[in-house]
Amino acid sequence: MVDEQAYKEVLNDINEIVCPFEKAILQNHCRCLRASHFYLAGRKGVGCQSVEAQAPCFKYLHLLKVNAKFALKLHSAYELLPHNKSIKIQVGGLRGLKKITLADDESEVVDDINQLIKQALIEFGSFEDIPMQEIIRHIAEFKGRKKNDK
């Protein structure tokens, strides 16, 4: 059995640049060329290779949480989310962004999260100008695995 406190301390040491979309990557819904994968105590993890690449991802994830509060019945964008709501926000938010940014790409898998966010910023000019209503619809519609699915 792994001591959780010791695990978290070692995790913080080896994963200095946390990937905000780690859950979506670990669930194989998304990929990112800036992601660095690691194993610790039999668990998979994902970090980011660059603080510069991480910053827009955190900003976009925060924007998703702020805008999806009503759709996910959240009290605050700052509350700790259960796994299923984190997955809905991450995967639904990235799929929605892909749909409005790369409309001709029909694949559900996001191949490069960091590049997608950069492309959206080029197309829309800023995070505030991204049409969030369309993206929130994708978050609300996303269905993760059911408990019986393996």
pLDDT at residue 10 in the model:
63
The more confidently predicted of residues 14 and 37 is 37
For range 86-94, the mean pLDDT? 95
Greatest alpha-carbon span in the chain: 49
For range 94-104, the mean pLDDT? 92
| Mean of pLDDT over the chain | 87
Q: Is residue 60 within 8 Å of residue 37, measured between CB atoms?
A: no
Residues 61, 130: Cα–Cα separation, whole Å: 13
This prediction has a pTM of 0.86
The more confidently predicted of residues 73 and 66 is 66
Residues 87, 3: Cα–Cα separation, whole Å: 26
| CA torsion through residues 129, 135, 139, 140, sign | positive
pLDDT of residue 148 exceeding 60, the answer is no
pLDDT at residue 7 in the model:
58
pLDDT at residue 144 in the model:
75
pLDDT at residue 1 in the model:
54
Residues 61, 84: Cα–Cα separation, whole Å: 15
Residues 6+ away with beta carbon under 8 Å from 32: 19, 21, 25, 48, 112, 113, 114
pLDDT of residue 15 exceeding 70, the answer is no
Return the domain boundaries, the chain: 4-141
Q: Is residue 65 within 8 Å of residue 74, measured between CB atoms?
A: yes
Residues 135, 141: Cα–Cα separation, whole Å: 10
